[in-house]
């Protein structure tokens, strides 16, 4: 092996050495999601010398990302996350292969994208993609390093490794209601948290690829940054018999993960921020904010605030002929609008604000 000063600290590391570095350089890692978790994971994997790194993300960089996605800069707002990440990782380490995929991961392309990599990192922020990745990695027998964040708390686990292997479905057998599946767009997140969890995901990947240490297989680690308390829990090794999930690649490609996770098509009409402001200026409209009372920013005009989970008990407060439902990002308002549509029928015209209050703010700020 030729000495490479880039990895000199690995060569000198007891238990790792040249053999570990060689294994790492001959390995491949797929990182799904180039956001808060993916950015630090990608940076450390590239710097460490993972031979091939794949990046899947169909999103573009937004100003609100920069509080935690430190791979990106202000001048790159609007550009593809996958493409910008790949460019910067090639500058960080031009000796490795970087392959970017600026696509949405689905059952139509997932098998082709995942099967060529040794280890997969789940750095996503939605349940349908988490279940999709877990099921596929189980079917392809791929180690999956899972990470998740919520406000001040992070989670980390390794699936499909060891004797009696566990999957994401062993940890969370059934998807939560879409209303309970809030991400950092709705509830916020401390900026350093995904940096910590993402770096730990990279660590678990390196352990798996080089054979050092003890991976978090069949265990869930949680950390709360407010009090630095950590917990290590065993993941149950038995699956509920009534769980519906694909058990073959053919079944996987036919499986509807949106429907499985409660994401249904709705008939409630969405309106743009421009249309919303015009309707509000004309008056004779009831704006219903279904966010929780502590969510920011506050609406600067007259409205009724009814948190979604209290909506069914407060229908008497909704007496307008034209009702516009709003929330933080447009997810809860769409579901709430459908609920009201089914309750009121033709007695009221129900619509919801597309993209929510965050989209409205972008529009108002030009």
Q: Phi and psi of 309, rounded to 5°? A: -70, -10
User: Which tokens is 193 given?
Assistant: 């948290």
Tell the burial category of 231 from Cβ atoms under 10 Å away from its Cβ (0-12, 13-18, 19+): exposed
CA distance 298 to 357: 9
CATH topology identical between 5-260 and 269-364: no
- The whole-model pTM stands at 0.82
What DSSP state is assigned to residue 173?
A: S
Which residues are tagged catalytic? Answer: 184, 327
The answer to whether 147 touches 197, Cβ cutoff 8 Å, is: yes
pLDDT at 135 over 90: yes
State which H helix or E strand residue 177 sits in: none
Per CATH, the architecture of 269-364 is what? 3-Layer(aba) Sandwich (3.40)
pLDDT confidence bin for 287, thresholds 50/70/90:
very high
pLDDT of residue 177: 66
CA-nearest of 273, 274, 307, 301 to 287 is: 301
pLDDT confidence bin for 282, thresholds 50/70/90:
confident
pLDDT confidence bin for 186, thresholds 50/70/90:
low
DSSP string covering 328-339, please? SSSHHHHHHHHH
From 74-78, 124-128, 298-302, the region with the lowest mean pLDDT: 298-302
pLDDT of residue 265: 62
Spans of all domains in the chain: 5-260, 269-364
Per-residue pLDDT of 291-304, as tens digits, reads 888 788 888 888 99
> Which segment, 63-67, 80-84, 328-332, is predicted with the most confidence on average?
80-84
The answer to whether 136 touches 252, Cβ cutoff 8 Å, is: yes
DSSP string covering 82-136, please? HHHHHHHHHHH-TTSEEEEE-S---TTTHHHHHTT-SEEEE--S-HHHHHHHHHH
pLDDT at 266 over 90: no
CA distance 62 to 76: 8
Average pLDDT, the chain: 91
pLDDT at 366 over 80: no
Cis amide linkage into residue 297, ω under 30° from 0: yes
∠ CA 33-35-36, nearest 5°, is: 125
pLDDT of residue 182: 64
- The predicted model gives 68-77 an average pLDDT of 96
pLDDT of residue 300: 84
CA distance 176 to 194: 22
Task: Choose the CATH number for 5-260 among 3.40.720.10, 3.30.590.20, 3.40.50.720, 3.30.70.1450.
Answer: 3.40.50.720
CA-nearest of 335, 317, 199, 196 to 262 is: 335
């Amino acid at each position: 092996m030729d000495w490479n000063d880039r990895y000199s600290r690995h060569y000198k590391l007891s238990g790792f050495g040249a053999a570990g570095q060689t294994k790492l350089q001959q390995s491949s890692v797929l990182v799904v999601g180039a956001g808060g978790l993916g950015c630090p994971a990608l940076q450390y994997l590239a710097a460490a010398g993972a031979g091939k790194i794949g990046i899947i993300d169909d999103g573009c960089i937004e100003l609100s990302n920069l509080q935690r996605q430190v791979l990106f800069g202000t001048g790159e707002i609007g550009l593809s996350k996958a493409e910008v990440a790949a460019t910067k990782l090639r500058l960080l380490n031009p000796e490795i292969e970087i392959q970017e995929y600026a696509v949405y991961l689905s059952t139509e392309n997932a098998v082709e994208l995942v099967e060529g990599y040794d280890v997969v990192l789940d750095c996503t922020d939605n349940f349908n993609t988490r279940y999709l990745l877990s099921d596929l990695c189980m079917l392809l027998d791929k180690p999956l390093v899972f990470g998740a964040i919520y406000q001040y708390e992070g989670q980390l686990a390794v699936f499909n490794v060891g004797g009696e292997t566990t999957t994401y479905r062993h940890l969370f057998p059934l998807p939560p209601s879409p209303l309970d599946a809030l991400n950092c767009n709705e509830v916020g997140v401390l900026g350093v948290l995904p940096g910590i969890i993402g770096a730990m995901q990279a660590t678990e990947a390196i352990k798996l690829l080089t054979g050092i240490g003890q991976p978090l297989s069949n265990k869930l680690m949680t950390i709360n940054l407010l009090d630095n308390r950590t917990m290590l829990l065993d993941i149950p090794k038995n699956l509920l018999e009534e769980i519906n999930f694909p058990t073959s690649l053919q079944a996987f490609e036919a499986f509807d993960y949106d429907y499985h996770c409660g994401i249904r098509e709705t008939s409630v009409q969405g309106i743009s921020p421009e249309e919303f402001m015009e309707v509000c200026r004309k008056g004779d409209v009831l704006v219903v904010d279904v966010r929780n009372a502590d969510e920011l920013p506050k609406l600067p005009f007259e409205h009724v605030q009814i948190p979604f989970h209290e909506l069914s008990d407060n229908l008497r407060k909704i007496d307008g002929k034209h009702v516009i439902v709003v929330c933080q990002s447009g997810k809860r308002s769409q579901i709430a609008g459908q609920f009201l549509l089914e309750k009121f029928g033709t007695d009221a015209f129900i619509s919801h604000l597309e993209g929510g209050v965050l989209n409205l703010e972008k529009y108002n700020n030009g």
